[in-house]
C-alpha cells in the first residue's frame, strides 16, 4: 500500500522553519540526490499555512506531483494547478489509498503532521537534521500532543554534517483532531 | 583546555524531558557504556529546576563528580554535598577553566544551556536522539533565542535506534542573558 511519509528538514532543536518561515538555514547539499527522493512520490499533502509560504515564493505546483492543500478558505478557482480539500485528513487519506500510486509526501507543516499522526495515518517520519540551533520557529510537531513511539529504519550521514534519520511510526496514542 | 559540553538525551521532536519532567522514555541501552562517558567528566553544571527534579528522586550527588547548582534560592547549608552558586555563568566558567581537570558536563536543563550558549561558553552539544515523539515537554533549548551554527564531529547509531550526535558550536549569535 502507498505510504504516507512526513519528510522534512529540521534544526537540531526541532524546528522545520524559522519564526518568520525562514528556510535559508536549510543548506543545499550536493551529496543529496533530490531526484531520487522525488521519484518515490507522486502526491504532496500540504497545510494551508505552508502552501501560502510556498505561493509567496512562486511555488504552487511541482511537475509530476499531484498537490493537495488542506484549507477551508482558499478558493479552488484561484488555484487551478492544485487540489484544495476542506475535508478531514481521514477521508483524503482513504481516497488516496484506494488508488494505486507512488508514496504520498506529507510535506508539512507541523500542524498537518499533528492531525495525520493524531488519526494514526502516518507511516514514516523522515527527518534531515541540519547542523544548526534555531532557538525558535515552527516546530516539527506542535504541542501539546500525546507521544508516539518510533522505530529507526535507516540513516545517512553526509559530509556537510546533515544527518538523515528515517523512522517508522510504531504506535500513536494521539487523539484524533479535525484538520 | 577543559571543555563545557551540553550532553543530554532528546526526543526526535526536541524535548529533554516530558511536560511533568518525565524521563521514563529514555530507555537504558545496553550498548551504551556510561562508564566511558562518566570518565570524561569531573564536574556537573545543573540548573535549579533540574536539580530539584533530581533531588526528588534522591540524586543530589554523583561520586567523583563536583556538582555545581545554579540557584539564588537554595541554601548551601541544606546541601553539603554540592556547590550552590548564585553568580552568573561567565564567572563560574572562568573559575573552572582556570583549574586543570576533566571536561565539564553541562547537565541541563535547557534554560541553563540557553544562558551558557548565550554567553558563548558552550564547546559542544551532544545529543542522544531517542526514537520517540513526545509532543510536549522541556525543550533542548528554550525559545526565543538567536541561532547558532554547529559542526557535526561524530555520530553513533545503536541497535535500539538511539542515535548519538556530537556537534561543536561553531558560532553563537545569542544575546547574553544572566542565569
Let me know if residue A155 belongs to a domain. Answer: no
The residue with greater pLDDT, B120 or A173, is B120
Residue B132 and residue A145: Cβ atoms within 8 Å?
A: no
pLDDT of residue A24: 93
Let me know if residue B178 belongs to a domain. Answer: no
Helices (H) and strands (E) in chain B, counts: 4, 11
Above 0.85 for ipTM, yes or no?
yes
B136–chain A Cβ distance below 8 A for any pair: yes
Let me know if residue B177 belongs to a domain. Answer: no
For B157, the enclosing helix (H) or strand (E) is strand B148-157
Global confidence as pTM: 0.93
Cβ-nearest to B125 among A12, A150, A174: A12
Contacts of B25 in chain A (CB under 8 A): 147
- pLDDT, chain A, mean: 91
Determine the residue of chain A that is closest to B11 in CA distance: A14
Determine the residue of chain B that is closest to A139 in CA distance: B13
Contacts of A31 in chain B (CB under 8 A): none
pLDDT of A179 > 50? The answer is no
Percent of chain A with pLDDT over 70: 94
- Cα B169 off chain centre by: 14
The residue with greater pLDDT, A153 or A174, is A153
Please give the average per-residue pLDDT across B101-118, as a whole number. Answer: 95
Please give the average per-residue pLDDT across A40-67, as a whole number. Answer: 92
Residue A152 and residue B161: Cβ atoms within 8 Å?
A: yes
Let me know if residue B179 belongs to a domain. Answer: no
Let me know if residue A61 belongs to a domain. Answer: yes
What is the CATH number for B9?
3.40.430.10
Determine the residue of chain A that is closest to B128 in CA distance: A12
Please enumerate in sequence order all residues whose Cβ is within 8 A of that of A65, keeping only pairs 6 or more positions apart, or say none.
A38, A41, A42, A43, A44, A105
Contacts of B116 in chain A (CB under 8 A): none
Phi, psi angles (nearest 5°) of residue A70: -90, 115
Determine the residue of chain A that is closest to B155 in CA distance: A157
pLDDT of B177 > 50? The answer is no
Contacts of A161 in chain B (CB under 8 A): 150-152, 167
Please give the average per-residue pLDDT across A37-56, as a whole number. Answer: 94
pLDDT-derived band at A63, boundaries 50, 70, 90 = confident
- pLDDT, chain B, mean: 91
Contacts of B118 in chain A (CB under 8 A): none
Q: What is the DSSP letter of B30?
A: T
Task: Give residue-wise pLDDT tens across range A102-151.
Answer: 999 999 999 999 999 999 999 999 999 999 999 999 999 999 876 899 99
Please give the average per-residue pLDDT across B128-132, as a whole number. Answer: 97
Number of domains in chain B: 1
pLDDT-derived band at B36, boundaries 50, 70, 90 = very high
Q: Evaluate whether A135 touches B146 at the Cβ level (below 8 Å).
A: yes
B167–chain A Cβ distance below 8 A for any pair: yes
Among A135-144, A157-166, B47-56, B138-147, which stretch is predicted with the lowest mean pLDDT?
Answer: B138-147
Q: Please give the residue range of the domain that contains residue B125.
A: 4-172
Q: Is B20 helix (H, G, I), strand (E, B) or coil?
A: coil
Please give the average per-residue pLDDT across B133-156, as a whole number. Answer: 93
Let me know if residue B23 belongs to a domain. Answer: yes
pLDDT-derived band at B8, boundaries 50, 70, 90 = very high
Amino acid at each position: 500500500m502507498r505510504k504516507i511519509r512526513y519528510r522534512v528538514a529540521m534544526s537540531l532543536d526541532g524546528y522545520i522553519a524559522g519564526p518568520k518561515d525562514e528556510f535559508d538555514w536549510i543548506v543545499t547539499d550536493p551529496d543529496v540526490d533530490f531526484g531520487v527522493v522525488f521519484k518515490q512520490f507522486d502526491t504532496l499533502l500540504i497545510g494551508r499555512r505552508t502552501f501560502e509560504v510556498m505561493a509567496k515564493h512562486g511555488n504552487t505546483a511541482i511537475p509530476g506531483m499531484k498537490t493537495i492543500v488542506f484549507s477551508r478558505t482558499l478558493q479552488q478557482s484561484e488555484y487551478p494547478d492544485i487540489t484544495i480539500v476542506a475535508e478531514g485528513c481521514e477521508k483524503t487519506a482513504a481516497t488516496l489509498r484506494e488508488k494505486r500510486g507512488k508514496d504520498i509526501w506529507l510535506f508539512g507543516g507541523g500542524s498537518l503532521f499533528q492531525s495525520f499522526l493524531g488519526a494514526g495515518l502516518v507511516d514514516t517520519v523522515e527527518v534531515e537534521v541540519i547542523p544548526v540551533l534555531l532557538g525558535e520557529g515552527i516546530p516539527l510537531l506542535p504541542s501539546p500532543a500525546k507521544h508516539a513511539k518510533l522505530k529507526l529504519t535507516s540513516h545517512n550521514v553526509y559530509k556537510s554534517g546533515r544527518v538523515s534519520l528515517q523512522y517508522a511510526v510504531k504506535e500513536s496514542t494521539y487523539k484524533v483532531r479535525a484538520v
